[in-house]
Copies of this chain bind each other. A is one copy, B any other.
Amino acid sequence: MKATNNILLKLTLVALIFTIVSCNKESNTVSENHTQQNGSHPNLILTQESVSNIKSELGNVPVFDATLATTKEAVDLAIEAGIDVPIPKDMAGGYTHTQHAANYVNMQKAGVLFQLLGDEKYAIFIRDMLLEYAEMYPTLGRHPQERSYARGKFFWQCLNDSNWLVYTSQAYDCIYDWLPEEQREHLNTNFFRPYADFLSVETPKYFNRIHNHSTWGNVSVGMIGLVMDDEELVDRALYGLKDIDIDKKAIDNDGGYIFDEDGKAGFLANLESPFSPDGFYTEGPYYQRYAMYPFMIFAEALQNKKPELNIFEYKEGVLLKAVDALLNLTDANGDFFPLNDGQKGMSYFTSSLVSVVDIAYYHGSQKPELLSVAKDQNAVQLNASGFAVAVGLRDGKEQPFIKESMELSDGANGDEGAVGILRYNDDNNTMGLVMKYTGQGLSHGHYDKLSFSLYENGEEILQDYGLSRFVNVEQKNGGGYLKENKTFAKHTIAHNTVTQNGISHFDYDFETGSNNHSEKFLFDASNSEVQIMSATETNAYPGTKFHRTMVMVKGTEFEKPYIIDVFKVNSETENQYDLPYYYFGQIISTSFDYNSEKTLAPLSDKNGYQHLWKEAQGKADASSIQFTWLNEKKFYSLTAATSNEDAIILARIGANDPEFNLRRDPTIILRKNDTKATVFASVIESHGNYDSVAEKANNAYSHFESVKVLLANEAYTAIELKMKTGATKLLILSNNDASKEASHTLDIDDANYQWTGAYYFK
Residue ranges of A at the interface with B (Cβ–Cβ < 8 Å): 93, 98, 343-347, 349-351, 470-476, 479, 586-589, 595-596, 598-602, 613, 615-616, 628, 630, 633, 650, 652, 654, 656-660, 663-664, 666, 690, 692-697, 700-701
Q: Which residues of B contact A598 (CB under 8 A)?
A: 656
Q: Which residues of B contact A351 (CB under 8 A)?
A: 693-694
The secondary structure that dominates the A interface is loop
A476 proximity list for chain B (CB < 8 A): 588-589
Does A475 contact B588, Cβ atoms closer than 8 Å?
Answer: yes
**What is the bound-complex CA distance between A490 and B347, given in angstroms?**
42
A472-B697, A473-B690, A599-B601 given; name 16 further pairs at CB < 8 Å: A345-B693, A346-B693, A347-B692, A347-B693, A473-B630, A473-B697, A475-B700, A476-B588, A476-B589, A479-B697, A596-B658, A596-B660, A598-B656, A599-B602, A616-B658, A650-B660
Report yes or no: A628 in contact with B475, Cβ–Cβ below 8 A: yes
Cross-chain contact of A349 among B470, B600, B693 (Cβ < 8 A)? B693
Q: CA of A596 to CA of B661 in the docked complex: distance in angstroms?
A: 12
Q: A615 contacts which chain B residues (CB < 8 A)?
A: 654, 660
Complex Cα spacing A628 to B660, Å: 12
Whether B589 pairs with A475 at a CB distance below 8 angstroms is: yes
B587 touches A633 (CB 8 A): no
What 8 A-B pairs have minimum CB-CB distances, sorted nearest first?
Answer: A345-B692, A600-B600, A587-B660, A475-B589, A596-B658, A471-B695, A350-B693, A599-B601
Contacts of A471 in B (CB 8 A): 695
Report the separation of the CA atoms of residues A349 and B654 in the bound assembly, to the nearest whole angstrom.
38
A344, B601: Cα distance in complex, Å: 32
In the assembled complex, which residues on chain B have CB atoms less than 8 Å from the CB atom of A347? Answer: 692-693
Q: How many Å from the CB of A140 to the closest CB on chain B?
A: 25
Closest B residue to A650 using CB positions = B660
A501 to chain B, nearest CB (A): 24
Query: What are 18 contact pairs spanning A and B, CB under 8 A?
Result: A93-B700, A98-B696, A345-B692, A347-B693, A351-B694, A473-B697, A475-B588, A475-B628, A476-B588, A586-B663, A587-B659, A596-B656, A599-B599, A600-B600, A615-B660, A616-B660, A650-B660, A652-B664
| Interfacial chain B residues near A595, Cβ < 8 Å | 658
**A586 in contact with B472 (CB, 8 Å):** no
**A41–B618 Cα gap in the complex (Å)?**
61
A98: nearest chain-B partner, CB-CB: B696
Bound complex: CA of A346 vs CA of B615, how far in Å? 30
Chain B, residue nearest A661 (CB)? B586
Supposing A343-B692, A349-B693, A692-B343 touch, asked if A700 and B473 sit within 8 A by C-beta, the answer is: yes
- Name the residue of chain B whose CB is nearest to the CB of A585: B663
Minimum CB–CB distance for A695 against chain B, Å: 5
Give the contacting residue for A696; candidates B472, B599, B633; CB below 8 A: B472
Q: What's the nearest-Cβ distance from chain B to residue A491, in Å?
A: 19
Bound: A666/B589 CA distance, A: 23
Q: Are A695 and B346 in contact (CB under 8 A)?
A: yes
Contacts of A696 in B (CB 8 A): 98, 472
Find the B residue at minimum CB distance from A698.
Answer: B98
Asked if B470 contacts A588 (CB within 8 A), the reply is yes
Q: How far is the CA of A475 from the CA of B473 in the complex (A)?
A: 42
- In the bound complex, how far is the Cα of B685 from the Cα of A575, in angstroms? 52
Interface centre among A596, A630, A650 (most CB of B within 10 A): A596
Chain B residues with CB under 8 A of A663:
586
Query: Is the pair B660, A586 in contact by a Cβ cutoff of 8 Å?
Result: yes
Nearest CB on B from A98, distance (A) = 8
Residue of B nearest to A589 (CB): B475
- Bound complex: CA of A633 vs CA of B346, how far in Å? 12
Residues of chain B contacted by A695 (CB below 8 angstroms) = 343, 346, 471-472
- Per the bound structure, the CA–CA distance linking A377 and B309 in Å amounts to 61
- Beyond A656-B598, A664-B664, whether A474 also contacts B697 by CB under 8 A is yes
Report chain B residues within 8 Å CB of A666. Answer: 664
Closest to A701 in B: B475
Inter-chain CA distance A692–B236, complex, in Å, is: 34
Residues of the B chain whose Cβ atoms lie less than 8 Å from the Cβ of A700: 93, 473-475
The one of B630, B654, B694 that contacts A350, using a Cβ cutoff of 8 Å:
B694
Least Cβ–Cβ distance between A293 and chain B, in angstroms: 13
- The reply to whether B93 and A697 form a contact with Cβ atoms under 8 Å apart is yes
Cα-based distance from A599 to B694 in the complex (angstroms): 41
In the complex, which residues of chain B have a beta carbon less than 8 angstroms from the beta carbon of A601? 599-600
Q: How far is the CB of A327 from chain B (nearest CB, A)?
A: 15
- Are B657 and A596 in contact, with the CB atoms below 8 A? yes
Whole-angstrom distance between the alpha carbons of A54 and B498 in the complex? 66
Q: Which of A474, A588, A697, A701 counts the most B-chain CB atoms under 10 A from its CB?
A: A697
Query: Are A630's CB and B599's CB within 8 A?
Result: no
Which of A93, A471, A650, A693 has the largest number of chain B CB atoms within 10 A?
A693
Contact at A599–B600, with CB atoms within 8 Å?
yes
Q: Are A692 and B346 in contact (CB under 8 A)?
A: yes
Rounded to whole angstroms, the CA-CA distance of A98 and B701 in the bound complex is 14
In the bound complex, residues from chain B placing their C-beta under 8 Å from that of A600 are 599-601, 613
| A362 CB to nearest chain B CB (Å) | 23
CB distance from A613 to the nearest CB of B (A): 7
Closest to A475 in B: B589
In the assembled complex, the CB of A112 is this many whole angstroms from the nearest CB of chain B, namely: 19
B residues near A654, Cβ cutoff 8 Å = 615
Scoring A343, A656, A692 by chain B CB atoms within 10 A of each residue's CB, the highest score goes to A692
Question: A470: which B residues are within 8 A, CB to CB?
Answer: 588, 630, 690, 697
Nearest CB on B from A584, distance (A) = 11
Which B residues touch A697, using CB under 8 A? Answer: 93, 470, 472-474, 479
Q: A701 CA to B595 CA in the complex, in Å?
A: 43
A135–chain B nearest beta-carbon distance, Å:
28
Residues of chain B lying within 8 A (CB to CB) of residue A586: 660, 663
The distance in angstroms between the C-alpha atoms of A415 and B574, with both chains bound, is 73
Interchain nearest-CB distance for A616 vs B (Å): 8
CA A665 to CA B398, docked complex, whole Å: 45
- Closest partner residue, chain B, to A351 (CB atom): B694
Q: How far is the CB of A91 from chain B (nearest CB, A)?
A: 12
